[in-house]
Amino acid sequence: TGVRFEKTSDEGDGPLTLSIHDVTGRVVEQVVLPLGTVFEDRTIGTSGTYFFTVAGQGRTLQPGKLVVY
């Protein structure tokens, strides 16, 4: 499962965090993303629906949904 995100100057200079949650809201994985264009490839072992957020400077920049088969 991959997530592509390009950090622009609108997001500021701080680090970005990718958080993946299951349908109960439990954090499955959380990683700090490097600057620039990012492609994070993550293995999620269990099929199902997951939600992700990319956050920085105290706010959500990109929410989304992942469906793993």
Phi, psi of 68 (to 5 degrees): -105, 125
- Average pLDDT over every residue of 10-38: 81
End-to-end CA distance of the chain: 10
Check residue 19 and give its pLDDT.
Answer: 92
3 state DSSP class of 5? strand
State pLDDT tens for residues 34-50: 766 566 666 777 889 99
Residue 26 — very low, low, confident or very high, per pLDDT cuts 50/70/90? very high
Which residues does residue 41 pair with via DSSP β-bridges, in sequence order?
A: 2
| Bigger pLDDT: 57 vs 26 | 26
Residue 1: is its pLDDT beyond 60? Answer: no
Check residue 33 and give its pLDDT.
Answer: 79
d(CA 55, CA 63) in angstroms, rounded, equals 9
d(CA 8, CA 13) in angstroms, rounded, equals 9
